[in-house]
Chains A and B, each alone.
Chain A
Amino acid sequence: MNRFVAKVLFTVGACLASGAPLWAQDTGVIKGKIVFKGDPAAYSRVEIDTSKDPNCGKDGKKIGTENVVLNKKTTPVTVRNVLVSIKEGLGDRKYTAPTDKVVLDQKGCHYEPHVLALMEGQPLTIRNSDDTNHNIHFLPKVNEEVNVTQPQKGMEKDVKLVKEDVFKVKCDVHPWMGCHIAVFTHPFFFVTKEEGTFELKNVPPGKYKVEAWHETFGTLSMDVEVATGATVEKDLTFEPK
């Protein structure tokens, strides 16, 4: 009996996680954008001095600060690299991690992506695409600390993160290099891109608390009710003092 339930949950989880179409109509979508209210000029990005390591930016590509990245082209101004996820309301549903690899790339002495979200146990690969050495230093709160060197171009390291967590990653060789990794127990998370919008697909019907996290602006949250097949559209606004 229990094994049967488990099987069912497993299938459900698998389908949800992979957004299987046959379930799609039984689930809803939460979408919206992350709006910034305030003076964008106060949060302009600046160029980073990489003269420490001449190998950095030898292709002439400059890199800038990323603690706040706004999309000034759009109106209203939206925020990039915001992590939107379902905080509460999923109950004790269990989801299995997708098996496709997530890659944290070190390119031009800069992490890509800047905010990386994945599920517990989902395979994560750290790659060094630079012609210099990097030192990946995870500073997790609950997961195991990772502090490894990749002295050569093309080196890869596989890491498994098994506990729900949001933490900073730093390169000890290039102090300016930093990014964030978020680990979830469920597949309902999204990191905003250039256009600053988010979309959580295949959300089962129900009441949820959705949270938006930004490394500088902190967290916002909103309550959302999802009906079968419906698409809820709701924005979140950061108003830094």
Chain B
Amino acid sequence: MTAEHHGQHGHHELGWWRKYVFSTDHKVIGVQYAVTALFFLFFGFCLMMIMRWQLAYPGRPLPLIGGLFGEANMPGGIMLPEFYNSLGAMHGTIMVFLGVVPMVVGGFGNYVMPLQIGAPDMSFPKLNMVSYWVYFVGGVVMLTSFFVPGGAANSGWTSYAPLSVIATMGQTMWLLGMVFLITSSLLGSVNFIVTIIQLRAKGLTMFRLPFFVWAQFVTAFLLLLAFPPLEAAAVLQLMDRVAGTSFFIPAGLVVSGQVLPTDNLPQTGGGNPLLWQHLFWFLAHPEVYVLILPGMGIVTEVIANNTRKPVWGYRTMVYALVFLGFMSFIVWAHHMFITGMGTTLSAFFATTTMIISIPSVVILTALLITLHRASIRFTTPMLFALAFLPMFAVGGLTGLPLGLPAADIPLHDTYYVIAHFHYVVAPGTIFAIFAGIYYWFPKVTGRTFDPFLGKIHFWLSLVFINIVFAPMFWVGMAGVSRRLYDQTVYAHGLAVQPAVELSSWAAWLLGLAQIPFIINFFMSIRKGRTVSDNPWEGTTLEWVAPSPPPHGNFASVPVVYRGPYEYSVPGSAREFFPQNVVAEA
């Protein structure tokens, strides 16, 4: 890398559009991703808060805002089942594909990763811009689907065929939206991998990479290889809906008394609904790790920085991470134990599922042991990062009974499953996201946030999010299925209804608990105290760049001399060694 690569500081100023809207700067794009994703996270959260009313008080008109949703959805404020299903499907879709993934990969990955590897930008800046705007279009398509006749997709975020094939027009929009989102992720992942391989600063070997970069690296590979099958599946389902094919529709279906008109069925016996599930879960299981790995990366950064010591067993963690990524491709069918799977197949997938739990345990343990003999600073990001550990532990552990086929029979598709994966993603990844926001906020804005509001936000969120999800374990144990518009029609559902009501109230309070964050966020951007380049006294390269980093990131090309987390090095005057500092003899 030679000097002229950094000549751009003298560059003529770009126009407003090129600078903030159609920018090719990874930092601007990162912020664009993050802001859009935060919007979608909030939107998806709102959908859920509306659903929670129907769950808590089935068939009772939604007070105050009930009238706003139109006669087709909520006549007299009473939610109709079809609208409930739409909300459920879109909550899942938006949270996963429009919220969390764009946030942790598009947002944090885009902004932080190039800084941490000492690169001036991503390898393909224009491609980077394209992937954001493709994602944006996908998001718009998803949102508009609420306004088409029949409402948004209502076959669940898993869109199981044939239900999704005979569903209303919203499903077509969903598929189109997915094609956009998938394309965006593919372009992004190519960009990430190339950047990490090609643009690392001099001396930054793979085993000197911050764990966050490793997480992004593995995640990118998951996206790259797992998403295309879903794209294929989406294309096939589109054909089924639009071109009259029947990839997922078996012969002789009788829908509401009418034999489903499908021309080809006599000739070939039609399609296979399991095909969709295999293609879908082949993506969607790695997708789970796409949701959690970057979260682990963020948490590791924050913990290393706030324990003021190197993370324990860095290499072990990296190996565990890679192994996790690899294994995640051969566990998908544990979502399908009760689709009529035989003994052999289930044994295989149960085994791989048990195996994949080990590396997660390893990473968690490593992070825990890191706390040992640390000097823990309880900063706001650290609080979120610390909370991540037990929350993720709950989420991970409760995966065990679901991974054991016999135990899965009673628990499958009950609230137990909901509680399980929400513990992984909500107090897990979402807390990691908050940790990341608070941790890198000074770098991005050059200002500090208000720690007091931050702590309020943390404690309220921690309490309420647990009251939301913990009861669901008991509701699930009692055998209540998920995706029920009104569980009180069942004796076992009515018996645990109070727990559902409790969850709802906690959910709404959790919504209120985000107010301090929102206020903090916007006020600190404008009024926050300006800070130095390295307010957290971090060692990784992003803290070497100015805050906020200029176009091209680094004043001078950083050269790396050591591992990522050189804190409290014995027999040395300074408490921490940034990676680019020459060791004093």
Contacts and interface: CB of A to CB of B under 8 A. Distances in A.
Do A and B contact each other directly (Cβ–Cβ < 8 Å)?
Answer: yes
A137 interface: yes
B150 to A, nearest CB: 8
A151 B82 contact: no
A149 interface: yes
Interface stretch (A170-178, A215-223, A226-234): A170-178
B59 A151 contact: yes
B153 to A, nearest CB: 15
A139 interface: yes
B78 A152 contact: yes
Contacts of B256: 137, 139, 170, 172
A148 interface: yes
B344 interface: no
Contacts of A8: none
B80 A149 contact: yes
Nearest to B149: A144
Contacts of A147: 82
Interface in A132-170: 133, 137, 139, 144, 147-149, 151-152, 155, 157, 168, 170
Nearest to A172: B256
A172 B166 CA distance: 14
A137 B168 CA distance: 13
Nearest to A137: B256
Contact of B81 (A137, A151, A155, A170): A151
A172 B256 CA distance: 6
Contacts of A175: 257
B75 interface: yes
Interface of A is mostly: strand
Interface residues of A, number: 16
Contacts of B75: 155, 157
A152 B485 CA distance: 13
A148 B82 contact: yes
Nearest to B168: A147
B257 A151 contact: no
Interface string B58-82: 0100000000000000010010111
B80 A148 contact: yes
B486 interface: yes
B339 interface: no
Interface string B451-490: 0000000000000000000000000000000000110000
Nearest to A149: B81
Interface residues of B, number: 12
Nearest to A144: B149
B54 to A, nearest CB: 10
Contacts of A157: 75
Interface string A73-105: 000000000000000000000000000000000
B258 interface: yes
B257 A170 contact: yes
A148 B149 CA distance: 12
A152 B54 CA distance: 13
B257 A178 contact: yes
A33 to B, nearest CB: 31
A139 B255 CA distance: 11
A16 to B, nearest CB: 33
Nearest to A168: B257
A145 to B, nearest CB: 9
Contacts of B257: 139, 168, 170, 175, 178
| Highest count of chain A CB atoms <10 Å: which of B78, B256, B486 | B256
A151 B80 contact: yes
Interface string B245-284: 0000000000011100000000000000000000000000
A6 to B, nearest CB: 32
A148 B232 CA distance: 32
B60 to A, nearest CB: 10
Nearest to A154: B76
Interface string B75-99: 1001011100000000000000000
Contacts of B81: 133, 149, 151
Contacts of A133: 81
A170 B258 CA distance: 10
22 contacts: A133-B81, A137-B256, A139-B256, A139-B257, A144-B149, A147-B82, A148-B80, A148-B82, A151-B78, A151-B80, A151-B81, A151-B485, A151-B486, A152-B78, A155-B75, A155-B78, A157-B75, A168-B257, A170-B257, A172-B256, A175-B257, A178-B257
Interface of A: 133, 137, 139, 144, 147-149, 151-152, 155, 157, 168, 170, 172, 175, 178
Given A139-B258, A149-B81, A175-B257, 18 more contacts: A133-B81, A139-B256, A139-B257, A144-B149, A147-B82, A148-B80, A148-B82, A149-B82, A151-B59, A151-B78, A151-B81, A151-B485, A155-B75, A155-B78, A157-B75, A170-B256, A170-B257, A172-B256
Interface of B: 59, 75, 78, 80-82, 149, 256-258, 485-486
Top 3 A-B residue pairs of the complex, sorted by shortest distance between their CB atoms:
A149-B81, A170-B256, A137-B256
